[in-house]
């Protein structure tokens, strides 16, 4: 288990807060045992929360040609056919993965290929399970096309708590399946927009792991 680089600023802030609070309690309120205990518990709790949220578990990544891998840890909350209007302008199968604050928040490329499209959209901060969050919340839309011309669109979507989306890729570069592509801070959602003829490998309310769980398989035809 490692600590993700995106969490370093947050960890520094929490550690400074811990130092200031506990230092103030020690010098000015040291005789009040209940206050000391509350202060120690609160600062320890905040430190543990930051460490667990920004954890980066070590996993064995296995490339899976022809398969679309989950870009995030979380729970499948949507499986439905929708009209995609930003890039493809056609019907697509939407798979949405909700990431709670307890999930690992690293995002990964679902397939290998060329990064054809990448655009950041400012927006609202509706709760991530709200259907309108896909098109109205702050989000980053990315399209990857493999060497057989098959494309996958996925969106990193901010939620009510998530106020920062990080994406590392640039249009025109080659990317590898399972490679880390970004991070969303504090509760969020990732949408996958897939061809209608894919073979689904998951069901509603299923728990998935980023870089490991196969969401669907491309039609071999």
Q: Which active-site residues does the annotation give?
A: 188
- What gap in Å lies between CA 209 and CA 54, rounded to an integer? 16
Report angle CA 53, 76, 124 to the nearest 5 degrees: 65
- What gap in Å lies between CA 106 and CA 137, rounded to an integer? 19
- 85 backbone dihedrals φ, ψ, rounded to 5°: -115, -5
**Per-residue three-class SS string for 27-76:** HHCCCCHHHHHHHHHHHHHHHHHHHHHCEECCCCCCCCCCEEECCCCEEE
């Amino acid at each position: 288990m490692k600590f993700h680089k995106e969490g370093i600023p947050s960890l520094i802030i929490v550690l400074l807060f811990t130092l200031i609070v506990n230092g103030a309690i020690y010098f000015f309120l040291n005789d009040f045992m209940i206050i000391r205990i509350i202060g120690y518990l609160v600062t320890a709790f905040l430190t543990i929360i930051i460490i667990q949220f920004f954890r980066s578990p070590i996993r064995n990544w296995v490339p899976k040609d022809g398969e679309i891998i989950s870009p995030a840890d979380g729970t499948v909350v949507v499986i439905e056919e929708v009209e995609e209007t930003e890039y493809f302008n056609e019907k697509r199968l939407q798979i949405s993965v909700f990431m709670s604050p307890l999930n690992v928040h690293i995002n990964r490329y679902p397939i290998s290929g060329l990064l054809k499209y990448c655009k950041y959209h400012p927006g609202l901060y509706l709760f991530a399970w709200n259907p309108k969050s896909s098109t109205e919340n702050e989000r980053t839309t990315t399209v990857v096309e493999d060497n057989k011309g098959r494309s996958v669109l996925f969106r990193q979507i901010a939620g009510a708590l998530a106020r920062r989306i990080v994406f590392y890729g640039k249009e025109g570069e080659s990317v590898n399946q399972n490679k880390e592509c970004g991070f969303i801070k504090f509760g969020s959602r990732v949408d996958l927009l897939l061809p209608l003829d894919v073979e689904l490998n998951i069901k509603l309310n299923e728990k998935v792991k980023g870089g490991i769980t196969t969401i669907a398989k491309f039609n071999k035809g």
